[in-house]
Amino acid sequence: MTTTNCLNCNSENVSEIFYGYPGDMELYLKLVADKKIHPGGCTINADSPKWHCNKCGDQWGQISNCDDSAAYDPGFNFDKVHD
């Protein structure tokens, strides 16, 4: 994981935002508590940020190539739901 300094406060205390449902909830909660990752929710859209500043809370960047990301879970496809 390549990180960057916060664009707002220049802090180095930055974590990558994790999207999707974690496979190992215990590990996920530990990484969140240790501020190694930041929870981003279950869905990704074009405006979803990649980085979170643990100091000021600013978020920036863009998720790229999320289909190949281990952190990306496409979840439920509403277009394929049928009654």
**Per the domain annotation, does 54 fall within a domain?**
no
**Per the domain annotation, does 55 fall within a domain?**
no
**Per the domain annotation, does 74 fall within a domain?**
no
Q: How many domains does the chain have?
A: 1
**Per the domain annotation, does 66 fall within a domain?**
no
Which structural domain range is residue 34 located in? 12-43
The pLDDT confidence band at residue 3, using thresholds 50, 70 and 90, is: low
Strand-pair partners of 2: none
Taking only the tens place, the pLDDT of each residue in 44-77 is 888 899 999 999 999 999 887 554 444 445 454 4
Structure tokens at 43: 């869905």
pLDDT at 4 over 90: no
**Per the domain annotation, does 53 fall within a domain?**
no
Q: Which residue has the tokens 């990752």?
A: 37
Are the C-beta atoms of residues 3 and 50 closer than 8 Å to each other? no
Q: Which residue has the tokens 């190539």?
A: 65
**Per the domain annotation, does 6 fall within a domain?**
no
Residue from 4, 14, 57, 58 nearest 35 by CA = 14
**Per the domain annotation, does 81 fall within a domain?**
no
**Per the domain annotation, does 20 fall within a domain?**
yes
pLDDT recorded at residue 43? 87
